[in-house]
Chain A
Amino acid sequence: MKKISTVIDGFINHLDVDKLNSDLEGIVITDEDSKDILSSLSAILSSISTDDITKIIAILGGLITLASKLKVLFSKSKDLGSTRAMSAEDTIALTNGLLTLALKLTSTLSSVAAQAGDTEAYIAQIKASMDTYFPEWQKTW
Protein backbone atom coordinates (compact mmCIF):
# COMPACT_ATOMS: atom_id res chain seq x y z
CA MET A 1 0.00 0.00 0.00
CA LYS A 2 1.26 3.48 -0.91
CA LYS A 3 2.34 5.48 2.17
CA ILE A 4 1.47 9.14 2.60
CA SER A 5 5.06 10.00 3.53
CA THR A 6 6.14 8.75 0.08
CA VAL A 7 3.47 10.91 -1.56
CA ILE A 8 4.64 13.99 0.39
CA ASP A 9 8.26 13.30 -0.46
CA GLY A 10 7.22 13.22 -4.13
CA PHE A 11 5.47 16.56 -3.71
CA ILE A 12 8.52 18.11 -2.00
CA ASN A 13 10.71 17.05 -4.92
CA HIS A 14 8.43 18.20 -7.74
CA LEU A 15 6.01 20.74 -6.13
CA ASP A 16 3.22 19.47 -8.36
CA VAL A 17 -0.13 20.07 -6.61
CA ASP A 18 -2.16 18.22 -9.27
CA LYS A 19 -0.03 15.10 -8.87
CA LEU A 20 -0.33 15.38 -5.08
CA ASN A 21 -4.11 15.47 -5.49
CA SER A 22 -4.21 12.27 -7.53
CA ASP A 23 -1.56 10.51 -5.41
CA LEU A 24 -3.67 11.04 -2.28
CA GLU A 25 -6.51 8.96 -3.70
CA GLY A 26 -7.05 5.68 -1.90
CA ILE A 27 -4.52 6.20 0.89
CA VAL A 28 -5.13 5.14 4.49
CA ILE A 29 -3.42 7.33 7.09
CA THR A 30 -2.19 6.01 10.41
CA ASP A 31 -1.09 7.57 13.68
CA GLU A 32 2.52 6.96 12.75
CA ASP A 33 1.98 8.65 9.40
CA SER A 34 0.75 11.81 11.11
CA LYS A 35 4.12 12.20 12.85
CA ASP A 36 5.90 11.64 9.53
CA ILE A 37 3.71 14.21 7.81
CA LEU A 38 4.41 16.91 10.36
CA SER A 39 8.15 16.26 10.47
CA SER A 40 8.31 16.28 6.65
CA LEU A 41 6.44 19.56 6.52
CA SER A 42 8.63 21.09 9.24
CA ALA A 43 11.65 20.13 7.16
CA ILE A 44 10.12 21.92 4.16
CA LEU A 45 9.56 25.06 6.21
CA SER A 46 13.13 25.24 7.45
CA SER A 47 14.41 24.94 3.89
CA ILE A 48 12.33 27.76 2.41
CA SER A 49 14.25 30.73 1.12
CA THR A 50 12.43 33.97 1.95
CA ASP A 51 13.00 35.37 -1.52
CA ASP A 52 11.44 32.44 -3.32
CA ILE A 53 7.78 33.46 -3.66
CA THR A 54 6.98 30.88 -6.34
CA LYS A 55 8.17 28.03 -4.13
CA ILE A 56 6.26 29.35 -1.12
CA ILE A 57 3.04 29.60 -3.13
CA ALA A 58 3.50 26.07 -4.51
CA ILE A 59 4.10 24.62 -1.05
CA LEU A 60 1.14 26.52 0.34
CA GLY A 61 -0.99 25.02 -2.42
CA GLY A 62 0.23 21.59 -1.36
CA LEU A 63 -0.60 22.22 2.29
CA ILE A 64 -4.09 23.41 1.43
CA THR A 65 -4.64 20.32 -0.71
CA LEU A 66 -3.40 18.08 2.09
CA ALA A 67 -5.53 19.76 4.75
CA SER A 68 -8.65 19.50 2.59
CA LYS A 69 -8.01 15.86 1.63
CA LEU A 70 -7.05 14.59 5.08
CA LYS A 71 -10.55 14.70 6.50
CA VAL A 72 -11.91 12.69 3.60
CA LEU A 73 -9.12 10.15 3.96
CA PHE A 74 -9.65 9.82 7.70
CA SER A 75 -13.38 9.30 7.33
CA LYS A 76 -12.76 6.66 4.63
CA SER A 77 -10.33 4.86 6.95
CA LYS A 78 -12.95 4.92 9.69
CA ASP A 79 -15.68 3.58 7.36
CA LEU A 80 -13.43 0.72 6.37
CA GLY A 81 -13.07 -0.15 10.05
CA SER A 82 -9.31 0.06 9.81
CA THR A 83 -7.70 -0.52 13.20
CA ARG A 84 -4.84 1.64 11.99
CA ALA A 85 -7.10 4.62 11.33
CA MET A 86 -6.59 7.76 13.37
CA SER A 87 -8.90 8.99 16.12
CA ALA A 88 -11.02 12.13 15.74
CA GLU A 89 -8.79 13.97 18.24
CA ASP A 90 -5.67 13.14 16.25
CA THR A 91 -7.41 14.19 13.06
CA ILE A 92 -8.20 17.60 14.55
CA ALA A 93 -4.64 17.92 15.90
CA LEU A 94 -3.14 17.09 12.53
CA THR A 95 -5.47 19.40 10.63
CA ASN A 96 -4.63 22.19 13.08
CA GLY A 97 -0.94 21.39 12.60
CA LEU A 98 -1.31 21.78 8.85
CA LEU A 99 -3.19 25.03 9.28
CA THR A 100 -0.47 26.32 11.58
CA LEU A 101 2.14 25.50 8.97
CA ALA A 102 0.03 27.19 6.31
CA LEU A 103 -0.22 30.22 8.59
CA LYS A 104 3.57 30.31 8.96
CA LEU A 105 3.89 30.21 5.19
CA THR A 106 1.42 33.05 4.69
CA SER A 107 3.35 35.05 7.29
CA THR A 108 6.55 34.36 5.35
CA LEU A 109 4.77 35.45 2.21
CA SER A 110 3.69 38.62 3.99
CA SER A 111 7.25 39.49 5.01
CA VAL A 112 8.47 38.80 1.48
CA ALA A 113 5.75 41.08 0.15
CA ALA A 114 6.67 43.78 2.66
CA GLN A 115 10.28 43.67 1.54
CA ALA A 116 9.44 43.71 -2.12
CA GLY A 117 6.40 46.00 -1.94
CA ASP A 118 4.89 43.58 -4.41
CA THR A 119 1.13 43.85 -4.91
CA GLU A 120 0.96 40.41 -6.51
CA ALA A 121 2.53 38.88 -3.39
CA TYR A 122 -0.11 40.51 -1.19
CA ILE A 123 -2.80 39.23 -3.55
CA ALA A 124 -1.29 35.75 -3.36
CA GLN A 125 -1.43 36.01 0.43
CA ILE A 126 -5.12 37.00 0.37
CA LYS A 127 -5.95 34.15 -2.03
CA ALA A 128 -4.06 31.74 0.19
CA SER A 129 -6.04 32.94 3.22
CA MET A 130 -9.32 32.42 1.36
CA ASP A 131 -8.36 28.96 0.11
CA THR A 132 -6.94 27.88 3.47
CA TYR A 133 -9.65 29.06 5.84
CA PHE A 134 -12.82 29.23 3.75
CA PRO A 135 -12.16 27.23 0.55
CA GLU A 136 -14.57 27.57 -2.35
CA TRP A 137 -15.36 23.84 -2.43
CA GLN A 138 -16.29 23.71 1.28
CA LYS A 139 -19.71 25.35 1.29
CA THR A 140 -20.28 24.80 4.99
CA TRP A 141 -18.70 22.86 7.89
Chain B
Amino acid sequence: MRSKLLILLVLMMSLSIGCTQAIDWKKASAAGYDVTGVVGTQIKETVAPMCTDKKIPAVKCDKMLDIYNKLRTAYRTSGQALITAMRATDAVSQQQSIEAYKKAINEVTILLPQLITLAKELGVDIGGIK
Protein backbone atom coordinates (compact mmCIF):
# COMPACT_ATOMS: atom_id res chain seq x y z
CA MET B 1 0.00 0.00 0.00
CA ARG B 2 2.74 2.42 1.02
CA SER B 3 4.81 1.60 -2.05
CA LYS B 4 1.79 2.35 -4.26
CA LEU B 5 1.44 5.69 -2.49
CA LEU B 6 5.09 6.50 -3.14
CA ILE B 7 4.80 5.59 -6.81
CA LEU B 8 1.72 7.78 -7.01
CA LEU B 9 3.66 10.65 -5.41
CA VAL B 10 6.42 10.31 -7.96
CA LEU B 11 3.93 10.28 -10.82
CA MET B 12 2.19 13.34 -9.38
CA MET B 13 5.55 15.07 -9.21
CA SER B 14 6.19 14.47 -12.89
CA LEU B 15 2.77 15.84 -13.75
CA SER B 16 2.90 18.82 -11.40
CA ILE B 17 5.05 20.84 -13.73
CA GLY B 18 2.19 20.95 -16.22
CA CYS B 19 -0.23 22.38 -13.66
CA THR B 20 1.19 25.90 -13.54
CA GLN B 21 -2.27 27.46 -13.39
CA ALA B 22 -3.31 25.67 -10.22
CA ILE B 23 -0.12 25.44 -8.14
CA ASP B 24 3.37 26.87 -7.89
CA TRP B 25 5.32 24.47 -10.12
CA LYS B 26 8.64 25.37 -8.53
CA LYS B 27 7.41 24.43 -5.09
CA ALA B 28 5.73 21.21 -6.24
CA SER B 29 8.69 20.12 -8.37
CA ALA B 30 11.29 20.77 -5.65
CA ALA B 31 9.24 18.86 -3.05
CA GLY B 32 8.48 15.94 -5.38
CA TYR B 33 12.10 15.78 -6.46
CA ASP B 34 13.16 15.39 -2.85
CA VAL B 35 10.65 12.60 -2.12
CA THR B 36 11.94 10.65 -5.12
CA GLY B 37 15.50 10.91 -3.84
CA VAL B 38 14.50 9.62 -0.40
CA VAL B 39 12.95 6.47 -1.88
CA GLY B 40 15.95 5.78 -4.13
CA THR B 41 18.36 6.21 -1.24
CA GLN B 42 16.37 4.01 1.13
CA ILE B 43 16.51 1.22 -1.42
CA LYS B 44 20.27 1.63 -1.83
CA GLU B 45 20.93 1.80 1.92
CA THR B 46 18.97 -1.40 2.49
CA VAL B 47 19.85 -3.49 -0.55
CA ALA B 48 23.56 -2.66 -1.08
CA PRO B 49 24.73 -4.19 2.26
CA MET B 50 22.59 -7.26 1.59
CA CYS B 51 24.28 -7.68 -1.79
CA THR B 52 27.73 -7.24 -0.20
CA ASP B 53 26.86 -9.92 2.36
CA LYS B 54 25.54 -12.17 -0.43
CA LYS B 55 22.09 -12.34 1.15
CA ILE B 56 20.55 -11.66 -2.27
CA PRO B 57 21.37 -13.72 -5.42
CA ALA B 58 24.14 -12.06 -7.47
CA VAL B 59 22.03 -11.95 -10.62
CA LYS B 60 19.31 -10.00 -8.78
CA CYS B 61 21.90 -7.65 -7.28
CA ASP B 62 23.37 -6.98 -10.73
CA LYS B 63 19.94 -6.19 -12.10
CA MET B 64 19.09 -3.86 -9.21
CA LEU B 65 22.47 -2.16 -9.44
CA ASP B 66 21.96 -1.59 -13.17
CA ILE B 67 18.55 0.03 -12.56
CA TYR B 68 19.94 2.02 -9.62
CA ASN B 69 22.79 3.42 -11.73
CA LYS B 70 20.37 4.47 -14.48
CA LEU B 71 18.10 5.99 -11.84
CA ARG B 72 21.02 7.94 -10.38
CA THR B 73 21.94 9.40 -13.79
CA ALA B 74 18.33 10.29 -14.62
CA TYR B 75 17.82 11.83 -11.18
CA ARG B 76 20.84 14.10 -11.44
CA THR B 77 20.05 15.02 -15.07
CA SER B 78 16.48 15.97 -14.15
CA GLY B 79 17.73 18.02 -11.19
CA GLN B 80 20.10 20.02 -13.39
CA ALA B 81 17.34 20.62 -15.95
CA LEU B 82 14.96 21.72 -13.20
CA ILE B 83 17.50 24.21 -11.87
CA THR B 84 18.08 25.58 -15.38
CA ALA B 85 14.31 25.92 -15.88
CA MET B 86 13.92 27.80 -12.61
CA ARG B 87 16.73 30.20 -13.51
CA ALA B 88 15.56 30.81 -17.10
CA THR B 89 14.78 34.43 -17.79
CA ASP B 90 12.81 33.96 -21.00
CA ALA B 91 9.87 31.74 -21.85
CA VAL B 92 11.56 29.88 -24.72
CA SER B 93 14.63 28.71 -22.80
CA GLN B 94 12.48 27.92 -19.78
CA GLN B 95 10.21 25.72 -21.89
CA GLN B 96 13.24 23.92 -23.36
CA SER B 97 14.58 23.18 -19.89
CA ILE B 98 11.17 22.04 -18.67
CA GLU B 99 10.98 19.61 -21.59
CA ALA B 100 14.46 18.28 -20.71
CA TYR B 101 13.33 17.89 -17.10
CA LYS B 102 10.14 16.07 -18.12
CA LYS B 103 12.14 13.66 -20.28
CA ALA B 104 14.61 12.81 -17.50
CA ILE B 105 12.02 12.64 -14.72
CA ASN B 106 9.86 10.42 -16.90
CA GLU B 107 12.74 7.95 -16.92
CA VAL B 108 12.93 8.19 -13.12
CA THR B 109 9.21 7.42 -12.83
CA ILE B 110 9.78 4.27 -14.89
CA LEU B 111 12.96 3.10 -13.10
CA LEU B 112 11.96 3.76 -9.50
CA PRO B 113 8.87 1.52 -9.51
CA GLN B 114 11.00 -1.20 -11.19
CA LEU B 115 13.48 -0.98 -8.32
CA ILE B 116 10.71 -1.04 -5.68
CA THR B 117 9.05 -4.03 -7.36
CA LEU B 118 12.32 -5.98 -7.50
CA ALA B 119 13.03 -5.23 -3.85
CA LYS B 120 9.53 -6.33 -2.87
CA GLU B 121 9.95 -9.57 -4.83
CA LEU B 122 13.00 -10.27 -2.69
CA GLY B 123 11.03 -9.53 0.48
CA VAL B 124 13.23 -6.56 1.30
CA ASP B 125 11.80 -4.13 3.85
CA ILE B 126 12.75 -0.65 2.64
CA GLY B 127 12.10 1.96 5.29
CA GLY B 128 8.71 0.44 6.05
CA ILE B 129 7.83 -0.32 2.40
CA LYS B 130 7.01 -3.99 2.01
Contact = CB atoms under 8 A, between A and B. Distances in A.
Given A110-B27, A129-B33, A88 B79 contact: no
Nearest to A99: B41
Interface stretch (A7-15, A16-24, A27-35, A119-127): A119-127
A127 B86 contact: no
A48 B69 CA distance: 35
Interface stretch (A36-44, A51-59, A77-85, A131-139): A131-139
Contacts of A88: 49, 53
Given A95-B45, A103-B34, A133 B75 contact: yes
Interface residues of B, number: 32
A123 B26 CA distance: 9
A119 B84 CA distance: 11
Interface string B26-65: 1101110110011011101111110001000000000001
Contact of B37 (A119, A122, A133, A140): A133
Given A110-B34, A126-B79, A133 B40 contact: yes
Interface of B: 24, 26-27, 29-31, 33-34, 37-38, 40-42, 44-49, 53, 65, 68-69, 72, 75-76, 79, 82-83, 86-87, 127
Interface of A: 88, 92, 95-96, 99, 103, 106-107, 110, 113-114, 117, 119, 122-123, 125-127, 129-130, 132-134, 136, 140-141
